[in-house]
Amino acid sequence: MNYFLHIIVLLNIYIILILGANMTVGMAGLLTLCQAAFYGIGAYIGTMLLMQFDLPFIVIALIVSVITGVFSLLISYASLKLKNDYFTLATLGFQMIIFTILYNWVDVTKGPYGISGIPAIKILGLWSLKGVVPYAIFTAVVMCAMVGIFVALKKSPYGRLLRAIRADETAVKALGRNTSAAKTRAFFLSAAFSGIAGLLYASYVRFIDPTSFTLNESLFIICALFIGGVGNAKGSIAGALFVVILPELLRFIGLPDAVAAPLREIIYGLALVVIMFVRPQGMLGEEMSK
């Protein structure tokens, strides 16, 4: 039972992460490779707040989302002047910079040694979440809230503006809309989603180190998004289900880790190639032209 609930917790966290990626990639058409950087920033900032201050979750989550969003401005203001592949390369550089800082700033992040003994989240500053059952319930509640926020944004005038930018940014500019500001806000929201996911992850596993927030993790998130589908919440949920459940199915088959790990990567890559040929918007995604 605990094993099943553990998978539920990870699934909820990855849904939030993929929703964050969907804000930029699916809604605004900006391919980013730095989601794991924001994930790591959220995890480390959240860890410091949990260890230094006795604050309720909602306060810590707001602080983490704002600080992570501010970090996104460092890259968005510079990189949004770039186009297509150059923008993607700029986000890749940001991912590498953040990982290097997390790995080498030992005085603050403990570097490769990691930070252990992270306190549990407190609800309203009174009740600590202890054990997998409370975390499964709580992360499900937070995930549903994040899905609700994503759906509300998608249906709002701002969401329609982002989809118009994705379809034809030149036409949107011709109508007098500030596309750079709209994309910057999307980047901020994407980082905020990832930061909250990082906070949940850190408080749940109670140990973090930089190896959880590498470029491979960013690629993993983007792969899940493209497989599940871009532009809506259903695709993010489907992508998270695929990438979280598949390794567990391979484990149940009884394959040794030395075989299961590379086989998992092969299946992810093959699924991505097939999806790109058969249904480029993903299993449950929207048409990118909409």
Q: What's the average model confidence in pLDDT over 100-116?
A: 92
Is the pLDDT assigned to residue 117 strictly greater than 70?
Answer: yes
Mean pLDDT of 100-110: 92
Q: What percent of the chain has pLDDT over 90?
A: 51
Provide DSSP, the chain: -HHHHHHHHHHHHHHHHHHHHHIIIIIS----S-HHHHHHHHHHHHHHHHHH----HHHHHHHHHHHHHHHHHHHHHHHTTS-THHHHHHHHHHHHHHHHHHHH-HHHH-GGG-EE-PPPPEETTTEE--SHHHHHHHHHHHHHHHHHHHHHHHHSHHHHHHHHHHHHHHHHHHTT--HHHHHHHHHHHHHHHHHHHHHHHHHHHSEE-GGGSSHHHHHHHHHHHHHH-SSSHHHHHHHHHHHHHHHHHHHHHT--HHHHHHHHHHHHHHHHHHHHHH-TT-SSPPPTT-
* Residue 255 confidence (pLDDT): 67
Q: Where are the domains of the chain?
A: 2-211
What average pLDDT is seen over the chain?
A: 88
- Answer whether residue 172 shows pLDDT above 60: yes
Taking residues 265-278, what's their average pLDDT? 84
pLDDT at 129: 80
pLDDT greater than 50 at residue 290? no
Q: Using one digit for the tens of pLDDT, what is the confidence trace for 55-74?
A: 888 999 999 999 999 999 88
pLDDT category, 287, cuts 50, 70, 90? low
